[in-house]
Amino acid sequence: MAYDTNNVFAKILRGEIPAHKVLENDDVIVFMDVMPQGPGHTLVVPKAASRNLLDADPAVLARLLPIVQRVARAVKDAFAADGVSVFQYNEAAGGQSVFHLHIHVVPRFDGVPLKPHSGTMEDNAVLAANAEKLRKALG
């Protein structure tokens, strides 16, 4: 399938939809997931257009993964997590719901299951506070 330039992440990249941004450079934008599966659930989104990992330019992937690692370390520190889960889904059958390549970084706590991606949006004040906490951890 072709890349849809009207997907929600493309709109965020164009500034048409607000996001609680944590980090941005020429290659990626990092922001808080509005329907987090746990406190601090963060998304790392390359600016280059691709549906997912399957059609992404390898050069984009080479610049993406070091940022994912940096964000994962910061998420673990910022939220005093016991661990971190990193997810990436491809196509609807693989669990993808937004068809722009993105990577989920979720702090994890012993004995605490992830919440479902329920469609319920998190309070903006909580997202803003979590974004600030993560920005501080990133330095």
Task: Give the CA distances from residue 85 to residues 60, 67, 71, 73, 103, in Å, rounded to whole numbers and listed in that order.
Answer: 21, 15, 12, 11, 10
Q: Which of 37, 43, 63, 59 is nearest to 134 (CA)?
A: 43
What whole-number distance in Å separates Cα of residue 127 and Cα of residue 17? 15
Contacts of 2 (CB under 8 A, 6+ apart): 51
Q: Which of 79, 26, 67 is nearest to 48 (CA)?
A: 26
Q: Is 102 a catalytic residue?
A: yes
Q: Which of 20, 41, 100, 102 is catalytic?
A: 102
- Which active-site residues does the annotation give? 102
